Amino acid sequence: MALDDLLRAIEVEAEEERLRADREKAATAAAIVDAARRAAAAVKAELTTAPEAESLAAAERVRAMARLRAADTVRVAREEAYASLLGRVREELSALRGSPSYPAVFGALLDESRAALPNARELRVDRRDADLAGSMAGDLRVAAVLDTWGGVELAGDDGRTVRNTLEERLANADLLLRGRFAQWLSTGAGAELAEVP
């Protein structure tokens, strides 16, 4: 479907930007870990006069704190990278109405909605889609009452509705996108983040 192709194209386009952000965050995390290692070494050297077990425990506490800070930095970096990706997807979807492929996307969303609610009587759309909707509505009453990036909402006389807008599709895809993003991070581009001790 055109929306899936668009999402794949957006992922490819955003890959370079995400990779750069991931590398910057990985470098920050590595710097924190290096600083903590130096501090641990300094503590270890300072405590050479103390019993060895106490010195080692103090050094391990410093390393453990450094690992916690590094893990937190990586988590924040991943969340920021996902937020950046999601921002790009939102930009692309909000501009989709102006693309030549939008009528096909609109038609696909309408067809899916009709399949889900075959007894629909009203087709609700954004005012900017009123003409396009009128050409595809068939026996449906068109009401330009939505404020959306694009898509449709069908309503039946029994009160049931099917909302199939670009915003709704993105919201429904969030879990899937997060999963794919996490998988992408763990295989290849995000691997250097996972290697931070």
Q: Determine if the pTM surpasses 0.85.
A: no
Please say which residue of 65, 94, 123 terminates a domain: 94
Domain with 112 in it? 101-168
Number of domains in the chain: 2
37 in the same domain as 113: no
153 in the same domain as 131: yes
β-strand pairing of 151-156 with 141-146: unpaired
149 in the same domain as 85: no
Cα-based distances in Å from 31 to 35, 38, 68, 136:
6, 10, 14, 58
Reported as a single tens digit per residue, the pLDDT across 121-164 is 999 999 999 999 999 999 999 999 999 999 999 999 999 999 99
Query: Does residue 186 lie within any of the structural domains?
Result: no
β-strand pairing of 161-165 with 120-126: unpaired
Report the CATH number that the domain containing residue 148 is assigned in CATH: 3.30.2320.30
Query: Does residue 174 lie within any of the structural domains?
Result: no
Reported as a single tens digit per residue, the pLDDT across 17-30 is 667 677 777 777 77
37 in the same domain as 65: yes
